[in-house]
Amino acid sequence: MSFEVFLEAVGLVFSWPTIFWVMAGIVIGIVFGALPGLGASLGMAILLPLTLPLGGVDAIVLLIGIYSGAMYGGSIAAILINAPGTSAAAATTFDGYPMSRQGKAATALSLSATSSALAGFLTVTTLILLSPVLIDFVLMFGSPERFLIAILGLSMITIVARGSMVKGLIAGFFGLALTTVGSAPMTGDVRYTFGYFPLYEGISFIAALIGLFAVAEMLKLANETGGISKGGFEVSGDVIGGARTVFDHPVTVVKSAFIGMGIGSIPGAGSTVSNFIAYTEAVRASDDPDSFGRGNVVGVIASESSNNGTVGGSVIPAIAFGIPGSAATAVLIGGLIMHGLVPGPDLFDAGANLDVTYALFISLLVGNVLILVLGLGLVTRAGALTKIDTDYIIPIIIVLSFLGAFALNNGRWVDVVTIVGLGVVGFYMKVYDYSIIAFVLGVVLGSIAEENLYRSLILSRDTELPIFVSNPLSLIILVVIVAILVLPIVQPWLDARRE
Amino acid sequence: MEHALLLAFILPSIYMFVEAFEFSSAAQQFPQFTTGMVIFLGVLLLFRQYLPEPLGRLVTDEVDVLETGGEEIEQAEELAMEESGVDRTDDVENEQEVAYGAAVLGAMCIGYMVLSFLIGMLWATPLFVLAYTWWRDQSPYAMAGLTVLSFAIAFAFFEVIGLPIEEGYIQGVLGL
């Protein structure tokens, strides 16, 4: 049954105009990724409202294409001008930029395109092969488990919020609190609306994401002048040789890709973390660790393999439980919901929307082929993207954000106020190091957590044991949550003992 | 300024916590728990310098549970940046200057929102872009190009999506 749906999804992705949206997503993603300060989540957030006229599958393949393309695009600025287009490409600067200075920019860009495409292809193929198991696994989850999974996602704040844990928790809980505005799930109580009818539906979390990712980022960029690229650079080197080099390091590609996939599947962790871990692992495993940071090709391969591997990983919790594995998948969840596709069992049910899930996976595979073709074909022209003046970008992004937010609910002013308000809050959160991703986790998971908590409490009336310990699956999740919450508190003590 | 940010979290949370007593018991638990946590943690952070040392450390200490080696990597990044002589976008090198740029753009965004409400987003959009490019001292060609582009984008939203942005409060009042 699943295989038939898979074949149906293949036909869907290669039909017109879906295949066009796959290609458009990759190209737009590469552009957003290559422009320092923008990136996947911003690009997806401002284009999300524009997908309203599209069908569900077309919208989702466009969004996932932007995500995947931006992962590769981030390496262009990282290699050419030492300014990672996205934080996911930060580790690429360590060896990619020194290669540029040695006159091997084209080789480095070729390494990046090939390793990104290979790692993406590998992890998505694994995801497709594992999907029958994943389907059975997702269908095991009832309301108590879904509530606990949402709490597990939130508890990840303590792990992923680098910096002060308390700041991360405040951001996360405030995000949760915002989701309580409007009609309460199940009971129907109207909360914090001041009698203003448009607020009954609550604060749109897509508007919140546009504010946090697009407006806040533009406020931060507002003091930049001119293009990001201040100096001249020449794109020279061996394109084909670079592509071949990737195939000479299969272990690095495979290991980094799966590090990316594993870390990506942890809610909130994302490609920034996997990027550093894969790079560190490549240094550790090398016979010549001192050559890293001076243009070692393995450094570029590890970094770029891991960030594209993250895409496949972060999609798992997003479509299975509605829990974002990264900022970009938070927007993807918004896209799914906006098009009536609720993350969870329906997306794994052959009789419901399994075709959308498979179409998403297949479009990722096709997207990786496009990354390879575009990456290798346009290597020498890629630098032009980094020379675009930020003063051209800022007003257009702001305009798209305003119009997009206003379009979300066909002209609701609350959404415009939300993007401006959360844009300002998000800007100061960045300045003072409060985790934006923790805030996003709260905003996305709030309604899931509250709704499933309420259902679980109703179910618990008929059980002898507390509902959250009445079956092995929920008990395991509960233990993991406790471990995660305790870990940051005991870690300094463990480190002290180790020393 | 961080205190203002914390107050922006704490004050609405206090209101939401108190207001939640008006809801049915099932609908008040979740908002009271979440806002209660914001208030508790926010107050801890607000008065961090007055806390006993172990608690103060727990509140302010930075954690890196995944051990990504963030510090070493940041140092390597800084070193590479110095060598290249290239500016990086996500560096907040001069907080005051960034705050100035952000404050002006923030004020413009609020102005854009108010103007959109008054005259409609279709007409407010080119005015916002014109104001921004004028502030950034752009060439007349860039000003004209970006203004036309922004109007084209707004018009596409009006025409293709059917977004009601062609009129605002003023046209409504005047019956235009």
- Taking only the tens place, the pLDDT of each residue in A68-97 is 898 888 888 788 877 666 667 778 888 888
Higher pLDDT, A258 or A239: A258
Higher pLDDT, A174 or A408: A174
Quick check: A414 contacting B, CB < 8 Å? no
Give the confidence band of A275 by pLDDT, cuts at 50, 70, 90: confident
Helix (H, G, I), strand (E, B) or coil at A191: strand
Quick check: B168 contacting A, CB < 8 Å? no
Q: Which element (helix H / strand E) includes A183?
A: strand A182-183
At B93 the pLDDT is 47
Average pLDDT over residues B122-146: 95
Give the confidence band of A203 by pLDDT, cuts at 50, 70, 90: very high
Of B62, B97, B138, the CB nearest to A164: B62
Quick check: B64 contacting A, CB < 8 Å? yes
Q: What is the per-residue burial (b if ≥16 Cβ within 10 Å, else e) of B125-153?
A: bbbbbbbbbeebebeeeebeebbebbbeb
Average pLDDT over residues B153-169: 89
By the 8 A CB rule, do A227 and A36 touch? Answer: no
Question: Scanning every residue of chain A, which has its alpha carbon at the shortest distance from the alpha carbon of B64?
Answer: A162
pLDDT at A23 over 90: yes
Using CA of residue A371, residue A373, residue A376, residue A380, what is the dihedral sign?
negative
Q: How far is B52 from chain A (nearest CA, A)?
A: 16
Q: Taking Cα atoms as reference points, which of A179, A175, A207 lies closest to residue A192?
A: A179
* Residue partners of A472: CB distance under 8 A and separation at least 6: none
Greatest mean pLDDT among A57-66, A349-358, A374-383, B43-52 lies in A57-66
pLDDT at A387 over 80: no
Q: Taking Cα atoms as reference points, which of A121, A181, A223 lies closest to residue A415?
A: A181
* Residue partners of A363: CB distance under 8 A and separation at least 6: A13, A18, A22, A25, A60, A61, A64, A65
CB contact under 8 A, B16 and A177: yes
Q: Which two tokens stand for residue A198?
A: 């448009």
pLDDT at A394 over 70: yes
Of B23, B69, B125, the CB nearest to A280: B69
Q: Which two tokens stand for residue A375?
A: 């990456």
Instruction: Give percent of chain A with pLDDT exceeding 90.
Output: 28
At A235 the pLDDT is 67
Note the pTM of the prediction, 2 decimals: 0.80
Q: Taking Cα atoms as reference points, which of A147, A471, A203 lies closest to residue A323?
A: A147
- Determine the residue type at B158: F
Give the confidence band of B135 by pLDDT, cuts at 50, 70, 90: very high
At A231 the pLDDT is 53
Give a three-class secondary structure readout of chain B: CHHHHHHHHHHHHHHHHHHHHHCCHHHHHHHHHHHHHHHHHHHHHHCHHHCCHHHHHHHHCEECCCCCCHHHHHHHHHHHHHHHCCCCCCCCCCHHHHHHHHHHHHHHHHHHHHHHHHHCHHHHHHHHHHHHHHHCCCCHHHHHHHHHHHHHHHHHHHHHHCCCCCCCHHHHHHCC
Give the confidence band of A226 by pLDDT, cuts at 50, 70, 90: low
Cα three-residue angle A157-A441-A75, rounded to 5 degrees:
85
Range of weakest confidence among A6-20, A376-390, A437-451, B120-134: A376-390
- β-partners of residue A369 are none
Phi, psi torsion values for A233, nearest 5 degrees: -150, 155
Q: How far apart are the first and last CA of chain A?
A: 56
At A34 the pLDDT is 82
Higher pLDDT, B13 or A228: B13
Q: d(Cα A217, Cα A41) in Å, to the nearest integer?
A: 11
Summarised one tens digit per residue, pLDDT across range B12-32 is 999 999 999 999 988 998 999
At B87 the pLDDT is 45
Residue pairs spanning A and B at CB distance below 8 A: 262
**Set of chain B residues whose Cβ sits within 8 Å of the Cβ of A279:** 73
pLDDT at A225 over 60: no
At A268 the pLDDT is 62
pLDDT at B88 over 50: no
Question: Scanning every residue of chain B, which has its alpha carbon at the shortest distance from the alpha carbon of A425?
Answer: B5
Window 109-148 of A, Cβ < 8 Å to B: none
Quick check: A91 contacting B, CB < 8 Å? yes
Q: Taking Cα atoms as reference points, which of A455, A462, A435, A491 lies closest to residue A148?
A: A455
Window 334-373 of A, Cβ < 8 Å to B: none
Give the confidence band of B83 by pLDDT, cuts at 50, 70, 90: very low
CB contact under 8 A, B157 and A407: yes
pLDDT at A234 over 70: no
Mutation to test the B interface, candidates A50, A186, A219, most B Cβ within 10 Å: A219
Quick check: B119 contacting A, CB < 8 Å? no
pLDDT at A233 over 80: no
At A245 the pLDDT is 92
Quick check: A290 contacting B, CB < 8 Å? no
C-alpha separations of A111 from A72, A114, A205, A246, A249 in Å: 11, 5, 38, 6, 11
Average pLDDT over residues A117-129: 92
Total residue length of chain B: 176
At B97 the pLDDT is 54
Quick check: A417 contacting B, CB < 8 Å? yes
Average pLDDT over residues A398-415: 90
Helix (H, G, I), strand (E, B) or coil at A453: helix
Question: Scanning every residue of chain B, which has its alpha carbon at the shortest distance from the alpha carbon of A163?
Answer: B62
**Set of chain B residues whose Cβ sits within 8 Å of the Cβ of A90:** 73, 77
Q: d(Cα B113, Cα B125) in Å, to the nearest integer?
A: 9
**Set of chain A residues whose Cβ sits within 8 Å of the Cβ of B6:** 170
Quick check: A465 contacting B, CB < 8 Å? no
Window 441-460 of A, Cβ < 8 Å to B: 442, 446, 449-450, 453-454, 457
Summarised one tens digit per residue, pLDDT across range A335-386 is 998 898 888 888 887 777 888 999 999 999 999 999 999 888 876 676 676 6
CB contact under 8 A, A228 and B89: yes
Which DSSP letter does residue A184 get?
P
Q: Which two tokens stand for residue B49?
A: 């310098």
Please give the mean pLDDT across all residues of chain B: 82
Higher pLDDT, B166 or B173: B166
Summarised one tens digit per residue, pLDDT across range A89-111 is 778 888 888 888 788 888 888 99
Average pLDDT over residues A181-207: 89
Q: d(Cα A284, Cα A151) in Å, to the nearest integer?
A: 34
Quick check: B3 contacting A, CB < 8 Å? no
Quick check: B142 contacting A, CB < 8 Å? yes
Phi, psi torsion values for A182, nearest 5 degrees: 105, -165
Q: How far is B30 from chain A (nearest CA, A)?
A: 7
Phi, psi torsion values for A183, nearest 5 degrees: -70, 135
Instruction: Give percent of chain A with pLDDT exceeding 70.
Output: 91
Total residue length of chain A: 499
**Set of chain B residues whose Cβ sits within 8 Å of the Cβ of A432:** 1-2, 5
By the 8 A CB rule, do A292 and A303 touch? Answer: no
**Set of chain A residues whose Cβ sits within 8 Å of the Cβ of B42:** 170
Higher pLDDT, A488 or B139: B139
Summarised one tens digit per residue, pLDDT across range A138-161 is 778 888 888 888 888 777 776 666
Of B35, B85, B89, the CB nearest to A36: B89
By the 8 A CB rule, do A67 and A328 touch? Answer: yes
pLDDT at B67 over 80: no
Higher pLDDT, A80 or B82: A80
Average pLDDT over residues A5-31: 92
pLDDT at B148 over 90: yes
Helix (H, G, I), strand (E, B) or coil at A82: coil
Give the confidence band of B48 by pLDDT, cuts at 50, 70, 90: confident
By the 8 A CB rule, do A170 and B38 touch? Answer: yes
Please give the mean pLDDT across all residues of chain A: 85
Which DSSP letter does residue A389 get?
B
At A158 the pLDDT is 67
